[in-house]
Amino acid sequence: MSHKIVIALGGNALGNNLPEQMIAVKKTAKAIVDLIEEGNEVVIAHGNGPQVGMLQNAMTLLTRSDPEKYIPCPLSVCVAMSQGYIGYDLQNALREELLDRGIKKDCATVLTQVEVDPSDPAFENPTKPIGAFMTKEEAEHLIRERDYQVVEDAGRGYRRVVASPKPVAIVEIDTIRSLVESDHIVVACGGGGIPVFKTDGHHLKGAAAVIDKDFAAERLAEQLEADWLIILTAVEKVAVHFGKPDEEWLSNLTPVKAREYIEAGEFAPGSMLPKVEAAVRFAESGENRTALITLLEKARDGIAGKTGTLIHL
């Protein structure tokens, strides 16, 4: 039986730089095409943590080298850039893998804006680190020159932090839906989407923020009325008491039980917590909706109920 599936790719599926990404997407494409070969409709969202930081650093160096010629590049524009070049590699890897298997399907990347609420509390308390580590002197310079918010990170240096608001709506959802209905494989909501909010008239203004890709993928899955949300990560299953003698790997969770574990602080913020929260939201969003958290190479087995953590009503 075929399903409509939204996949959220983690950073481990894309590598940390351009050469790594070229290698990583080939492995990623094989696992995704395994699902397509079984007749499933697939839409792909992805993270962009290392990539957007790399772009921000490059733009910063240009600005420092010639401030009269180069102006600071807004974070929303860097997210858009990362969507373009990650999507370029992904869709080409998918096309190659599909043709190697004799499957004729088109793949398209949609430059995706995601609306956020300017009154979201996240804007009052930025916590999402982006970019490379800096010295104290470099951090102080950015605080003075650009009013950046910076935090010290576990003795490794200083990093800029930005808001991570929740997604409200996907601006290009009708375009994405039309492509899916015409049998295209779609790459969308890259890096959580370009965060925008409504201003006067019909203008959408970019926000200095990064949307968590798992929450963006969940919103995308809801709006597309998908059957499955697959959140791919670096472990085969979700665990409680992680790293302790009584560590327990979970195969099935109800949203109620998952919320109990969340309230007990079982999942690390910025790591497994947003994945579980996004999975719970999707499972609760409608009938016969299932979220799966697992490894990239285990996605097909996870849908078959053989592995991974399934969250459903």
What's the sign of the alpha-carbon dihedral 30, 31, 37, 39?
negative
Contact between 207 and 62 under an 8 Å Cβ cutoff? The reply is: no
Based on the residue annotation, tell me whether 243 is a catalytic residue of this protein. no
Based on the residue annotation, tell me whether 128 is a catalytic residue of this protein. yes
Based on the residue annotation, tell me whether 275 is a catalytic residue of this protein. yes
The residue whose two tokens read 């932090």 is 161
- Give bridge partners of residue 45 from the DSSP assignment: 8
Cβ neighbours of 223 (radius 10 Å): 17
CA distance 309 to 290: 10
Which of 35, 24, 95 is CA-nearest to residue 301?
Answer: 35
Tokens encoding 275: 């994945």
Contact between 28 and 12 under an 8 Å Cβ cutoff? The reply is: no
HSE-up of residue 74 (Cα within 13 Å, Cβ side):
11
Catalytic residue, chosen from 11, 27, 92, 198, is 11
Based on the residue annotation, tell me whether 198 is a catalytic residue of this protein. no
Catalytic residue, chosen from 10, 166, 190, 275, is 275
Based on the residue annotation, tell me whether 39 is a catalytic residue of this protein. no
Which of 185, 194, 164, 176 is CA-nearest to residue 274?
Answer: 164
CA distance 257 to 230: 19
Catalytic residue, chosen from 213, 237, 298, 302, is 213
Three-class SS state of 129 = strand
Burial status of residue 18 (CB atoms within 10 A of its CB: 0-12, 13-18, 19 or more): exposed
Catalytic residue, chosen from 87, 128, 237, 308, is 128
Contact between 167 and 192 under an 8 Å Cβ cutoff? The reply is: yes
Catalytic residue, chosen from 4, 12, 16, 30, is 12
| Residues with a known catalytic role | 11-12, 128, 213, 275
